[in-house]
């Protein structure tokens, strides 16, 4: 089960999670052009190896393993995945 970034990341975007991800599954990073216009960061479900390293790093508890995403944020599972699909 991949991890998912939910609503608390919006406007926080401090990138603590990006620094610990061993497979660079979290985007956009500060080096990417899309960073400034995106409200939040997203986890690529196909890249994520479910290591859990990012979850405790988030200062606003925005990251959950997919099966533990709170019901009120269940739409973020699709929101994360969609960001990585061809536009």
| DSSP symbols for 42-75 | EE-TTT-----SSGGG-TT--EEEGGG--GGGTH
Q: Which of 35, 38, 57, 79 binds ligand SF4 (CB under 6 A)?
A: 57
- Span from 29-37, 53-61, 67-75, 78-86 in contact with ligand SF4 (CB under 6 A): 53-61
Residues that contact ligand SF4, how many (by CB under 6 A): 28
Q: Give CA–CA dist 48/36, Å, rounded.
A: 23
Q: Which of 31, 35, 38, 50 binds ligand SF4 (CB under 6 A)?
A: 50
Tokens representing residue 73 in the block: 């944020």
Tokens representing residue 27 in the block: 């985007």
Question: What is the pattern of x (binds ligand SF4, CB under 6 A) and - over residues 1-40?
Answer: --x-x---x--xxxxxx--xx-x-xx--------------
């Amino acid at each position: 089960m991949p991890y998912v970034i939910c609503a608390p990341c919006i406007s926080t975007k401090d990138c603590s999670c990006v620094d610990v991800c061993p497979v660079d599954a979290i985007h956009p990073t500060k080096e990417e052009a899309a960073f400034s216009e995106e409200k939040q960061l997203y986890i690529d479900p196909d890249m994520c190896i479910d290591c859990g390293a990012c979850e405790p790093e988030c200062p606003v508890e925005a990251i959950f393993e997919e099966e533990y995403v709170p019901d009120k944020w269940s739409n973020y599972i699709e929101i994360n995945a969609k960001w990585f699909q061809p536009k």
